Homo-oligomer: A and B are copies of this chain.
Amino acid sequence: MAFRNVTHFFVEFGDCDPAQIVFYPNFLRWMDAAGHRYFHALGVPPWQLRPERAHDLIIGTPIVDVHARFIAPATYGDRIEIETTIAEWRGKSFVMEHVIRRDATLLVEGREVRVFARRHPVDPARIQAVDAPASIRERWERSTG
Question: Is B73 within 8 A of A62, CB to CB?
Answer: yes
Q: Residues of A within 8 Å of B, CB-based: how many?
A: 42
Contacts of A25 in B (CB 8 A): 14, 25-26, 28-29, 32
- Chain copies in complex: 4
Q: Which of A13, A28, A117 has the most CB of B within 10 A?
A: A13
- The main secondary structure of chain A at its interface with chain B is mixed
Any B CB within 8 A of the CB of A16:
yes
CA distance in complex: A19, B10 (Å): 19
Give chain B residues whose Cβ lies under 8 Å from the Cβ of A65.
67-70
Closest B residue by C-beta to A26: B25
- Give the docked Cα–Cα distance between A28 and B29 (Å): 10
